Structures are given as structure tokens and as C-alpha cells.
Amino acid sequence: MTDHQRPPLRLGIAGLGTVGGGVIAIVQQHGALLAARAGRRIEITAISARNRNRDRGVDLSSYAWEDDPVALARRDDVDLVIEVMGGEDGPAKAAVETALAGGKHVVTANKAMMAMHGQAMAEAAEAAHVALRYEAGVAGGIPVVKVLGEGLAANVITRVMGVMNGTCNYILTEMQKTGADYADVLADAQRLGYAEADPSFDVGGIDAAHKLALLASLAFGTRIDFAGVVIEGIDRITLADIRHAADMGFRIKLLGVAQMTDAGLEQRMQPCLVPAGSPLGQLDGVTNAVAIEGDHVGTIFLQGPGAGAGPTASAIMADVVDIARGLTGPSMGLPAAQLADAARAGDVSAAAFYLRLSLKDQPGVLAKVAAALGEEGVSVHQMRQYDHDGEAAPLLIVTHRATRSAIDGALGRIGAMEDSLAAPVALRIEEI
């Protein structure tokens, strides 16, 4: 069959919000380009959302409407369901499961659903000989799933790192640039539409951890293990931390790191210090970035828009074009049944740490702190004392390489001292 004789790929779109609207715009604007690149026409046949009467700024009159996304996933005139409703369970999961069971391909932007149910869904897709793709769910417009799964397929991946939540990066960058504190910048981000009314998934690190769990599975050939990600949000980062880090030549980023260690798979999503001059240190605003280290290729650095209608829909339609071309390989780079069940390493690899302590300014306190660190085998590289803040004297320490458990042991001892006025803070200094 020649290309123009191949039947069109018929799309059903569940969700007509920011991302769904972006997908429709691309299909309507680039129909001829998509057909040429895919070798067949790509057309929308049916759509679903909650509110049929909402004006969505695009002409939807030629598409069949379904109130229920599961009914959309059952339609005979839909070959591929684009799930862009969101939510890890509920209608998104029901529609995807229905589509896969019915032998339809699925493309989704829903990292929360994929992080929780991706393993079972990948198995269902393979059993039905259809594709389940989620490029848009990991770092939005950056084609990182493709790079890991295809471009770097000849490498053993040694580490994947990323700044993958635009809201957090915006907040940390603005604090650094303007000197405003966390609460004020978060309120600004909400006004500008960069942060949700309930920002807890973003600032708590959960959204970025969903993405890291998917990247780790792809990179290391392991089952998706969201529960194995060590997660800390940015809500404890103060302006003082940002300034002190800058004084020492660092920036604070919500950084995800996945690597295979002797103890198993280490997956961490935490605020970390990175060198100010490094590509990750230079990453400003809502931009995302992912660094991938492979044994033969070295380090690949990808940077771009991590969210928004255009970038996210761009990634969705790239998956759709692949499927239209007949590329329907396994979701996680390996057949789902072959993915390894890696041990959880937790927060295991050694690093230098930045410590912020708030102590009473009295003779002998520094000696007690040094003793607490020494008893856990933690040695000090740099120590700085800042001006008094009321009764408290902020003390900043950069340690030599130590394990997180040694740091936690030392902080437990310091926090229990009567001279300690606030819970100590420890941030890892990531080597990049």
C-alpha cells in the first residue's frame, strides 16, 4: 500500500483544556505537514470534556461529542485516544484502560497516572499490541523520552538529572533575583498562572517526582517505582539560604536525580545546591532541563519549555506521528515484563552538604556543633557565621562528602542541643 492509500489515523481527544486545546490547534493548523511526515492523514473524529457549551476558541463542530470519556474510548471510529484530562485515577484511568483493552493506542500527558499505573498500563498495551506513549508528561516540550529510549539506546545510562517543575524553578529564580521571600513569590506565580491555586503538588516536589520515576524506569530498565522516590519540597527554602548559597557560588534548584548504586536504584527529588555557572545553575524561570549521562556518549543536556499548550501539545503530536508511522514499541523502552524490580536505595550516595543552623550566640556553642558533627564522622569544609537575627546566630556549614544518614545523625544531635533555636536544614551539593 502506498502512503496515500493508508487509512487515516483517527483521534479521540479526552480533555479540552490547556493541552487538549493545543492539540486541536496543531491538528487544524498543520494537517498537511502531519500527513506528509506520518505518511497518512491524522484526523480528529471525537472529543470529550465536562462542559459541552464552553467556548474553547476553536471550531469543534465537525467532531463527534461524548460526555463520557470512557464512551469516547469505546468508539469504533477512534484508533487512538489522547488523554489530557489529568488525575491519577478516575475518568483518565478508566478511559485509558478502556482504550487499551479495546485495542486502541493511547497518548497521554498525565504523569501522575503514569507514575502510579504506568506499569500495568504498559503491560495492557503490549498485550493488545498497541502503543502507550507519554512524552508530554515528562518535561513538557522537551523530547526526553525519545532521547533516552531511542537516541541513547546504545548506552548504559549512569545518571539522569533534571529540573522538571517550572513553578518551583520560577519561585527559586525570582527569590534570587528580586530578594522577595517565598510566600510573596508564590503569590505572584499564582497571579501569573505559573502556579496552581493549590500549589502543593508542585512546591512539595510530587509533580516533579512523578516525572523522575518515569525517567528512571526508562533509563535503568526498572519497573516504575514512584513510592521509591525520596521527595522534599522547596517550601523550607528561605531567602537567606538562597543568598548564602549564592555567596558560596551556588544556586538552589529543585533537582531530581536517578542513578543505579550498589544499594539499588537511588531516586531523589530535593532542593540541592548546584554550581552557579553550570547549565543547571543558569536555568532561569519556568524552563525545564534534563541532563543524561551515558557510558559512551558522555553527558547530553536538554533544555526547553516544560509546560504550556504549545510545548505540551507538540510532544503529544510527536507521539501521535510515531504511532501513525507504525512505531508502536514498548512504553518503557523494554517489554514491560522484562523491567527489573530494583531495590530502593533511598538517599544513599555521599555528597558535600550545606547546613543551616540557628544557634544561641554563647561561648562553647561552636565546639558543641563540631563535636556533634565529628561523632557522626562528618568533617567541615567551610563555616560562616552571619549577623544576629534577634537572639539567634545563623551558622552555615559546608561539609566534606558525607552520607545523608551521617548528616541526619549529626543534625539530630545538634537539634537536640538547648542552644539550637530552630530545626537545622541540610541541602545536598550535587556534583555536576
Ligand X SMILES: NC(=O)c1ccc[n+]([C@@H]2O[C@H](COP(=O)([O-])OP(=O)(O)OC[C@H]3O[C@@H](n4cnc5c(N)ncnc54)[C@H](OP(=O)(O)O)[C@@H]3O)[C@@H](O)[C@H]2O)c1
Task: Give me the least distance between CB of 85 and ligand X, in Å please.
Answer: 4
DSSP label at residue 135: G
Task: Give me the least distance between CB of 398 and ligand X, in Å please.
Answer: 36
Q: Are 148 and 219 in contact (CB under 8 A)?
A: yes
Q: Are 333 and 153 in contact (CB under 8 A)?
A: yes
Q: Give me the residues paired with residue 43 across strands.
A: 10
Report the alpha-carbon distance of residue 67 to residue 267 in Å, rounded. 39
Task: Give me the least distance between CB of 74 and ligand X, in Å please.
Answer: 14
Of 50 and 388, CB closest to ligand X: 50
Residue 177 among the catalytic residues: no
Of 176 and 331, CB closest to ligand X: 331
Task: Give me the least distance between CB of 17 and ligand X, in Å please.
Answer: 2
Q: Any residues with CB less than 8 A from the CB of 125 and at least 6 apart, and which?
A: 100, 105, 106, 131, 132, 331
Query: Which residues of this protein are in contact with ligand X, per CB under 6 A?
Result: 15-20, 48-51, 54, 69, 84-86, 91, 109-110, 136-137, 140, 307-308, 312
Q: State the catalytic residue, choosing from 211, 253, 360, 368.
A: 211
Of 192 and 263, CB closest to ligand X: 192
Element containing residue 335 per DSSP (H, E):
none
Q: How far is CA 49 from CA 62, 81, 243, 406, in A?
A: 16, 13, 46, 51
Task: Give me the least distance between CB of 140 and ligand X, in Å please.
Answer: 5
Task: Give me the least distance between CB of 276 and ligand X, in Å please.
Answer: 28
Of 84 and 208, CB closest to ligand X: 84
Q: Are 81 and 104 in contact (CB under 8 A)?
A: yes
Closest C-alpha to 231, from 257, 250, 196: 257
Task: Give me the least distance between CB of 15 and ligand X, in Å please.
Answer: 3
Of 316 and 426, CB closest to ligand X: 316
How many CB atoms neighbour CB 255 within 10 A?
26
Of 60 and 276, CB closest to ligand X: 60
Taking each helix axis from N to C end, the angle separating 111-127 and 206-220, rounded to the nearest 10 degrees, works out to: 30
Length of the chain: 432
Closest C-alpha to 214, from 101, 328, 302, 113: 113
Helix (H), strand (E), coil (C) string for 370-428:
HHHHHHCCCCEEEEEECCCECCEEEEEEEECCECHHHHHHHHHHHHHCCCEEEEEEEEE
Of 40 and 75, CB closest to ligand X: 75
Select the residue whose beta carbon is closest to ligand X and give its number.
17
Residues forming the active site: 211
